[in-house]
Amino acid sequence: MSQQTTPLGKQQQYYRKKYLRNLPTAFCTGCGNGSILGCFVRAVDALVVGKQLQQRDLLCVSGIGCSAWIPSPYFKGDTLHTTHGRAIAFATGAKIMNPKLEVVVFTGDGDGAAIGGNHLIHAARRNIPLKVILVNNQVYGMTGGQSAPTTPFGVHSSTYQSNPEPPFDLSRLALGAGASYVARWTTYHIDDIITSMQEALLHPGFVFIEIISQCPTYAARFFNEYRDSLSPKERKQFHRNPGAWMLKALKGKRTGKNLGHPRYELTLKDQTIELGVFIREERSTLTETLQSLWK
Amino acid sequence: MKQGLYFVDGGIACAEGALYAGCRFFAGYPITPATSIVKRMAERLPQLRGYYVQMEDEIASMAAIIGASWAGGKAMTATSGPGFSLMQENLGYAYLTETPLVVVDTQRSGPSTGQATMPAQQDVMQARYGTHGDIAPIAFAPWSVQEMFDFTVYAFNYSERFRTPVLLMADGAISYMREPLNIPKKGELPIVNRRSLSKDDPNPDEIFLRYEMPKFGDGHDLLVTGSAHRPTGVRDYSPRYHRATIHWLFEKQKEAGKALQQEGLDLEVHNLDNADTVIISFGAAARPAYKAVLAAQKEGESIGFIRLKTLWPFPENQLTKLVKDMKRIFVVEMNMGMMIREIERVGCQAQVTGIPKVGGEIHHSNEILQKIRG
C-alpha cells in the first residue's frame, strides 16, 4: 500500500471530479506520468472553460507502455487504448472519419519511437491534426528497464551493462519529418508544458510534444547519470526518493526565448538536450485536403 | 455505380459492393492482387463524400479502419498474403474490441513474397487462427465476380449485425478475372446498419458484450482497450471477465453461423441426391471442380458437388448431414490441404481424398477428373 499523501485542495478536487475517473492509479511513486496527466487536465480545462474546446470532442488514443495509461483509463472522455506502437495509426483513422474530434495521442519512447516510429514520421509528414504527446523516460519501464532507442549511450540498463547505441533525438526527428508544431520539455517545466499543451490543442496541424520524464523505478536503478555527481549521503537520499532527485536533474539552464516560450538547455550524461518550442507553422492539413477532393 | 449489367473485374465488383453497403472509409497499402480494389476505392470514395487514405503499411491500414469504425464509419481494407500477415495483431484487437469492419484478402501464393500476384488459397487457416489468442471469425469465400460484389455487401451486413470483423477470403484469380456483374437496385439487397445505444438504455456504461455500439464524440466517455476488460471497458484481468468476453465472441460466431445457414450463405449443393461421391471446394478452385463434376456425371459417375460460401464458422452441422451417406469425398483447394482437415472431421466415415495444388495455378478440370476416376 502506498502512503497517504496530503488531502486534495479544492482546485485539485475540481479537476479530479470533472476530468478523471475514480480509479486507483497504477503509476509508481515519483513517476512523471501523473504530472503529465495533471498538466493535460489543466490545459484542457482552460480551453473548456474558455469555450474553445468541448470535452466530448476529445479523444485520447494511446498504445502500450506506461505512457499509454496516462489517459486510459484515467481521463474522463473517449479513450482508445491500442496495440503497441500503433496509436498514431488508429488515431489517423478516427480523425479522418470524424474531423470534429480533437484527437490526442499519448505515447512513449518505446511505443512511439521504436516499434511505432514509422507511424510517427508519416503522420508528421501528412500534417494530420493529431496532438502527439510523447513521454520520453529513456527506458522500457513496464517490461523492466530494458534499453530503449532513447537511452543515453554508455548507461547501464537491464539489458546492457553499457548501452552500445546512441539515442534518438525525437524532436528533431519530428521536425525533419514535417511536424508543424514541435516542442520539448521535461516534467520539471510544468507551466511550460501546460501552456504548450493549450497551444497544441488549438494548433491546426500535426503536433509533437516530447516530455522528458523520470522513471524512478527503473531508470533510477540502472541509470548512473543521475547518481554520478552525488555524494554518498546524497545517494542515500536519492534511493529514498529517486523521483524527486531525478526531477532536479531535469531542471536545466535557461538560455533564452523562442516563439514566445522560454528555452532551456539540459545535460544528461554526455548529451546536451535543448528544450523549448522549435516550430509553430500553419500549413494545409490532411483532413482539409481529403475533403477538398469531394466537390 | 447505377443499377445495371457491367463487365468488370472482381476487384471493382468488391469495391462497388462495399460502397453499396455504405462503406465510406478505406485505408490501404498497395499490394497486388488487391490493387484493383484499392484503385477503385481511391477513385470512388471522394465522389461519395468518403475517405480513401493510403497508409504507410498494412499494420497502419488495419489500425486506421478500427479507429474509423469507432468514429462511426463503415470501414474496410483490402490486401493480399504478406499484408494479411501484417494485419493479424490489429485484427485480433478488432475481434476483442468487437469492432465492425471488413478485411478483404485476395490470396496469393506464399509463403513470404512467394509467387507475388499469382492466386492461391493458402491463407484460409490464417483467417481462422492467424492472430494470437482465441477468436471466432466469419469468413466468406467468393467464386465469381458477382459474388465479389454480393459477399462484400453481406460481409458488411454481418460485421454490423454481429459487431465483429468479417473477412472476405478472395484470391488473385477472382480479383483480376472479368465477368458480367449485375449491380442491384438500391434497396434490393438489404443493408444492415449499426445499432447505436438508445437514450433510455438501462446499462449505457456497458459498451461490450452487446450488439449496440456507441461511437466517439457522443459524450459516452468510452473506454476501448485491447486488454481484457469488463463490459464497461475498464481493464480487468480477472478470470471471469476474460472468460465472459471470449465465450461471448464464440457465442456471436455461433449465432452468425445459424443466420448464414438460414440465408443460404453457408454452402451450396449440386446433385447430391443418389450420389455416393462428392467434391467439396470453394473460391476459385471450385470453378474447375464444378466443371469436373459435370464431366464425371456425363461419364456416368454418381457424383455431387458442395461449394463452401462461408469458410468460418465452418458449416459443420450442415455438412455432416450432407456427407453422411457418401463413400468418397474429394476436397479441391489451392494449397497443400487446409480445409480438408475440417472436412475429415465431419466426413470421417467416408474416404476423404485431397486434390491439393500449389504453384500459383488454378486446377485444370482434367486433373480433378483423373483423380475421381481413380
- Would the pLDDT of B47 be above 90? yes
Phi and psi at A103, nearest 5°, equal -100, 120
Confidence tier at B347 by pLDDT (50, 70, 90): confident
B34 lies within 8 A of chain A by CB: no
Residue B157: which CATH number?
3.40.50.970
Distance CA(B353)–CA(B349), nearest Å, equals: 12
Residues B308-335 have a mean pLDDT of 97
Say yes or no: B218 and B319 in one domain: no
Contact B217 A61 (CB under 8 A): no
pLDDT on residue A7: 78
In angstroms, the CA A134 to CA B57 distance is: 22
Instruction: State the residue range of the domain holding B359.
Output: 267-373
Boundary-marking domain end, from B218, B237, B265: B265
Residue B308: phi, psi to the nearest 5? Answer: -80, 125
For B22-51, b/e burial (b = at least 16 CB within 10 A) is: bbbbbbbbebbbbbbbbbbbbebbbeeebb
Task: Determine the length of chain A.
Answer: 295
Interchain CB distance below 8 Å, A81 and B68? no
- What pLDDT, on a 0 to 100 scale, did the predictor assign at position A226? 72
**What pLDDT, on a 0 to 100 scale, did the predictor assign at position A249?**
86
Residue type (1 letter), B237? Y
Per-residue model confidence (pLDDT) at position B362: 97
| CA-based nearest residue in chain B for residue A287 | B51
Residue of A nearest to B222 (CA): A78
Looking at the structure, do residues B316 and B347 belong to the same domain, yes or no?
A: yes
With CB atoms and an 8 Å threshold, state whether A78 touches B220.
yes
A131 and A107 Cβ atoms separated by less than 8 Å: no
Nearest in space to B83 (alpha carbons), one of B42, B132, B33, B125:
B33
Are the beta carbons of B216 and A100 separated by less than 8 Å? no
- For A81, which of B51, B65, B225 is closest by C-beta distance? B225
Task: Tell me: do B235 and B357 sit in the same domain.
Answer: no
Nearest to B93 among A72, A82, A101 (CB): A82
Other CB atoms within a 10 A radius of the CB of residue A153 amount to 13
Does residue B227 sit at the A interface (CB-CB below 8 Å)? yes
Establish whether the linkage from the previous residue to B142 is cis, with ω within 30° of 0: no
- Nearest by CB: A86 against B51, B59, B223: B59
Query: Does the distance separating the beta carbons of A93 and B224 come in below 8 Å?
Result: no
- Among residues of chain B, what percentage have pLDDT more than 70? 100
Of B265, B294, B315, which marks where a domain is finished?
B265
Q: Which of A57, A60, A74, A78 would you mutate first to test chain B, the one with the most B CBs within 10 A?
A: A78
pLDDT band at A4 (very low <50, low <70, confident <90, very high): low
Residue with more model confidence, A5 or A178 = A178
For an interface test with B, which of A18, A62, A90 has the most B Cβ atoms less than 10 Å from its Cβ? Answer: A90
CA distance B150 to B182: 10
- Residue B67 pLDDT more than 70? yes
Q: Which residues of B229-259 are buried (b: 16+ CB within 10 A; e: fewer)?
A: bbbbbbbbeeeebbeebbebbeebbeebbeb
pLDDT confidence of residue A1: 41
Summarize pLDDT for A162-195 with one digit per residue, the tens.
999 999 999 999 999 999 999 999 999 999 999 9
Task: Please state the rounded mean pLDDT for residues B213-240.
Answer: 96
In tens, the pLDDT along A88-104 reads 999 999 999 999 999 99
Q: Which of A56, A96, A290 sits opposite B68 (nearest CB)?
A: A96
Is the same domain home to B322 and B271? Answer: yes
List pLDDT tens digits, range A60-78. Answer: 999 999 999 999 999 999 9
Rounded to whole angstroms, the Cα distance separating A95 from A61 reads: 11
Residues B109 and B135 in one domain: yes
The pLDDT assigned to A5 comes to 60
The answer to whether residue B374 scores a pLDDT higher than 90 is no
pLDDT of res. A222: 73
Q: What percent of chain A has pLDDT over 90?
A: 80
Contact by Cβ (8 Å): B45, B37: no
Tell which of B265, B293, B309 closes a domain. Answer: B265
Q: What is the DSSP string of B5-22?
A: EEEEEHHHHHHHHHHHHT
- Residues of chain B in contact with residue A293, where contact means CB-CB under 8 angstroms, are 46
Query: Mean pLDDT, to the nearest integer, of B249-278?
Result: 97
Residue A186 is which amino acid?
T
Residue contacts between A and B (CB atoms, under 8 Å): 133
Q: Take residue B316 and report the three cell numbers written for it.
A: 459443420
Amino acid at B73: G
CA-wise closest residue to B263 among B107, B108, B114, B150: B150
Which pLDDT belongs to residue A154?
Answer: 87
Question: In the Cβ-directed half-sphere of B252, how many Cα atoms lie within 13 Å?
Answer: 28
| DSSP code at position A140 | B
Considering the domain A29-292, what is its CATH architecture? Answer: 3-Layer(aba) Sandwich (3.40)
Split into its structural domains, chain B has a count of 2
- Pick the more confident residue, A8 or B196: B196
CATH number at residue B322: 3.40.50.920
- Euclidean distance between CA atoms B162 and B95, whole angstroms: 11
pLDDT of residue A229 exceeding 80? no
Do B194 and B164 fall into the same domain? yes
CA distances from B10 to B7, B40, B173 (A): 10, 11, 9
Cα separation, B32 vs B38, whole angstroms: 10
C-alpha A212/C-alpha B242 separation (Å) is 35
Of B59, B67, B226, the CB nearest to A94: B67
Residues A251-287: pLDDT tens digits?
A: 999 999 999 999 999 988 778 999 999 999 999 999 9
Write out chain A residues lying below 8 Å of B100, CB-based: none
* Co-location of B32 and B181 in the same domain: yes
Judged on CB neighbours under 10 Å (0-12, 13-18, 19+), B200 is exposed
Amino acid at B331: V
* Distance in Å, alpha carbon of A118 to nearest chain B alpha carbon: 8
**B189–A contact, CB cutoff 8 A:** no
Question: Does one domain contain both B199 and B286?
Answer: no
Mean pLDDT of all residues belonging to chain B? 97
Which chain A positions have a beta carbon within 8 Å of B53's beta carbon? 92-93, 96, 290
Which range is least confidently modeled, A155-164, B1-10, B209-218? Answer: A155-164
Q: Identify all chain B residues contacting A101, using CB atoms and an 8 Å cutoff.
A: 71, 216-217
Quick check: A2 pLDDT over 80? Answer: no
pLDDT on residue A211: 98
Among A264-268, B57-61, B164-168, B355-359, the minimum mean pLDDT is found in A264-268
